Amino acid sequence: MSDSVVVKAKIKDLAGNYNVAGDFAEALDAKVKALVADALKRAEANNRRTVMAKDL
């Protein structure tokens, strides 16, 4: 597995009294990486090397 960009402890903090399944962090990590990749493509398409919130 590659380096994760999400922190499991922070997910558990946000979940509060809910249990967090073991595979949740991996699935969330994949979604975050996909969002970042799409944002990078949008920034590049707009001739920018700065990724901005509007790229999401």
Domain membership of residue 7 (yes or no) is: no
Contacts of 42 (CB under 8 A, 6+ apart): 55
**pLDDT tens column, 44-53:** 999 999 999 9
Q: What is the pTM of this model?
A: 0.86
Domain count along the chain: 1
Domain membership of residue 36 (yes or no) is: yes
**pLDDT tens column, 1-54:** 469 999 999 999 999 999 999 999 999 999 999 999 999 999 999 999 999 999
Instruction: State the sign of the Cα–Cα–Cα–Cα dihedral 20, 24, 26, 32.
Output: negative
> Containing domain of residue 52, as a range?
28-56
Cα distance between residue 34 and residue 17, in whole Å: 28
State the amino acid at position 39 in one-letter form.
A
Domain membership of residue 42 (yes or no) is: yes
Domain membership of residue 21 (yes or no) is: no
Cα distance between residue 6 and residue 34, in whole Å: 13
